[in-house]
Structure 1
């Protein structure tokens, strides 16, 4: 079977337009989500209004995506999977690709290049190195600390972004926009704060700091599309439909959404032409809707699913106790904690979520969704939980989420959560094990986590919440996760 490349790709399957050779966007963290979301919307924008919006894609260390895309003349496919059917579409917007660990000079030069008007990021929540308890940059982290000495030591994307902006301030002084496309509350504000704290810790002079404050914008944005990992099955499905071999396809659901603040210092693509893209002054409300209703529920599904031997999100969602738990979490704890955007139909959105979670064709892996919980849950549990606790009520579903996460990635001695939980990537797994070492019982195990810097201090100070998490974890260990879920539901 011939490999996909520029000489043979079927133009009729192309999404939007191909980019010109000229590039206007640098993307840090090229992976699955960027290629199925911002890249797709940029192709659609150029089909509507043109523009020099080719993308320079930067991988941090891995060549897993870079090499296939180079071999395929930057072209790759989107395998769109839904209950209504399967389709393959092609994206052709990237024009240069770098690996930051191998080409750090080129990466900083790309960020500083005045022809590049926007720097986008998908570096995951943990890539910002924000301390979940203090809210400040973890300057002593292994990723951040080496870069504080200067650009030569910058290995992490955040550090390279910061030094790239310094270089820009010293050379062209051209204004630029930094646009985070990660799942974070106030993603733009967070990015700005972490970059600012990094440069302050690095001792950057006041003139440079003032230039960045005046010439770099950090708009907030909410992103949404479920994009699982690529498998050999993905490649086989693409090959069957396309008649060509693609070594870098991206599976994705049909649904897509992007809500952005229109604060761009040097122009932007006509993203509003793409279906699902909205420019709004209520981005933070949309972010909370997504982070809590979708992402918070997604986490709960993944941990309940991992503990009930459900390999995919749809197979977990199909279990009645999981569906009932998620419904209770949304309507009793998440929704009341959110000021909804004007005109937002919450019931329709929730119904759509349940439909998306039943997408067996997509088959999103439970372990993928449950990974990096220590970073994700900080944005999903504390505020809804504290709201109810401060009203004298128990947030049972938030307690169940915490208990099931602990059971999956930091289980009490003698409890085996199973293979799916073992596959979940957890950057704090070792620290959690150290923190809980020597715990005499389940309650002490939970207390060491709740007060050990993994959750905000204020939440850890609510002994009644710790008691409830410990109670539910005890039930998981002794009677199983379904019994714990039913207990949380009051059944």
Structure 2
């Protein structure tokens, strides 16, 4: 039986100084941020590693520490006309700190002057204010609360601040994160000096990330392990393509030379056009296909794209309902959409719909709700495919057909709304805590959702789609 991956197996792998604090160690961050750190290190441009902070009570700290922070990134796909099939052991995670059991160790990170950068990916639901967080909590529950505690300790030590680059798919993520930290600072009465230090000594950057990361190759894990010669419980598959757009000051590209390492990283003063194109045209169709695909028994993105009915749904959703709503030249957007559908059809990676479904309500709010609202305002009618997908999402959150993966308070809101099926649509759509607004004010939405749910229950998602595409 193969031995588990560790530095004992590979003693010659480099160990770089800790320069990055990383909130979150999920598949995406390991195959995106940590992999890119390694590419810079290999070229002598950075020489730094990330210390990971576990953002939730249940995480992967034990598994990552057991492998000494090592894991394998498997890149599979077609990139620039060439087939890519590579394996690389990534050695840029030094260790994981669990603030729920090691809170003082977490705060002690503020003492290390070599730590200059903070990155994060706590999903769209992570950059949020939690009224239950209090000064002195060990730790605060929310990611911004934990970050505030860490920054205050850094300030109290009289040290310089950080460059903070969140990767959550939230509009203006850096600005939103900073506002929440400032709110905690005011409510916790941390003082005017800290507020000034926050603003003057720290750089909160907005960023946009793009890389399809299906994650752990469960169906091929044993075969891959035999080929690698070691057991890796953290191996992660990704497509070769990546894009990281970072909005920040001019000096940042020199301090974090990702682009000089040949990576597709854009430093810019305005990331808005990049964000709209990517969030709505790549992440949006991902979120839209999940409920209808899973209700039809499909399991992966590739299965969706190989299915005639569902692939037509994805294409028409992108071309007829999403693309015309973007403030970009339509030919450019349509060409980008075709590139995305080619990435969706990647036969080398198994991107499970179940993994995309995590926190789908927050994802729909960010990725697709603006499109639905704009389409209704512009055309006087609801977008038919997007509205059907929305109904499928709401039906799937009843929890009896498809396992839902979301925050407890989100599940509780749906349980409450579904307890009165006859008024479910109205009750759930007017829940401002879920959507940030009362969606019953969108004309025709309540009856349309109600009728679509009936149709999905009667005929299933495939027949419902066939009537529209």
Length-normalised TM-score, structure 2:
0.90
Q: 1:283 aligns with which of 268, 271, 293?
A: 271
SS of corresponding position for 2:348: coil
Q: Distance in 1 between matches of 2:283 and 2:186?
A: 32
Q: 1:445 aligns with which of 394, 419, 424?
A: 424
Name the Cα RMSD after superposition: 2.6
1:409-448 paired onto structure 2 within 5 Å: 409-410=397-398, 418=401, 421-422=402-403, 424-425=405-406, 427=408, 428-440=410-422, 444-448=423-427
Q: Deviations over 1:116-151 (max 9, x none)?
A: 11111111111222xxxxxxx342xxxxx1x31325
Partner of 1:110: 109
Partner of 1:373: 360
Determine if contact 1:61/1:102 at 8 Å carries over to the other structure. Answer: no
Q: Distance in 1 between matches of 2:331 and 2:153?
A: 42
Query: Measured at CA, do residues 99 and 235 of structure 1 come closer, stay the same or move farther in structure 2, by a change above 3 Å?
Result: farther
Q: 2:377 aligns with which of 378, 386, 390?
A: 390
Partner of 1:122: 121
Partner of 2:89: 90
Partner of 1:9: 10
Q: Distance in 2 between matches of 1:344 and 1:120?
A: 34
Q: 1:37 aligns with which of 28, 32, 36?
A: 32
**Residue 303 (1) aligns with residue 302 (2):** no
Query: Measured at CA, do residues 50 and 92 of structure 1 come closer, stay the same or move farther in structure 2, by a change above 3 Å?
Result: same
Determine if contact 2:323/2:330 at 8 Å carries over to the other structure. Answer: no
Partner of 1:173: 159
Shift of 1:451: 1.1
Query: Measured at CA, do residues 126 and 111 of structure 1 come closer, stay the same or move farther in structure 2, by a change above 3 Å?
Result: farther
**Residue 480 (1) aligns with residue 466 (2):** no
Determine if contact 1:46/1:53 at 8 Å carries over to the other structure. Answer: yes
Partner of 1:262: 248
**Residue 54 (1) aligns with residue 49 (2):** yes
Give structure 1 regions of 4+ aligned residues with deviation exceeding 6 angstroms. Answer: 264-267
Determine if contact 1:368/1:424 at 8 Å carries over to the other structure. Answer: no
Q: Distance in 2 between matches of 1:331 and 1:19?
A: 47
Query: Measured at CA, do residues 343 and 422 of structure 1 come closer, stay the same or move farther in structure 2, by a change above 3 Å?
Result: closer
Q: 1:462 aligns with which of 439, 442, 455?
A: 442
Shift of 1:292: 0.9
Partner of 1:164: 150
Q: Structure 1 stretches of 5 or more lacking a match?
A: 130-136, 140-144
SS of corresponding position for 1:393: coil
Determine if contact 1:186/1:220 at 8 Å carries over to the other structure. Answer: yes
Determine if contact 2:68/2:95 at 8 Å carries over to the other structure. Answer: no
SS of corresponding position for 1:204: coil
Partner of 1:75: 70
Shift of 1:364: 1.3
Length-normalised TM-score, structure 1:
0.86
Query: Measured at CA, do residues 79 and 63 of structure 1 come closer, stay the same or move farther in structure 2, by a change above 3 Å?
Result: farther
Shift of 1:423: 5.3
Partner of 2:346: 359
Q: Distance in 2 between matches of 1:344 and 1:53?
A: 41
Quick check: 93-102 or 119-128, which moved more?
93-102
Shift of 1:477: 1.3
Shift of 1:25: 0.7
SS of corresponding position for 1:125: coil
Quick check: 390-399 or 149-158, which moved more?
149-158
The size of the alignment, in residue pairs, is: 459
Q: Structure 2 stretches of 5 or more lacking a match?
A: none
Q: 1:221 aligns with which of 204, 207, 213?
A: 207
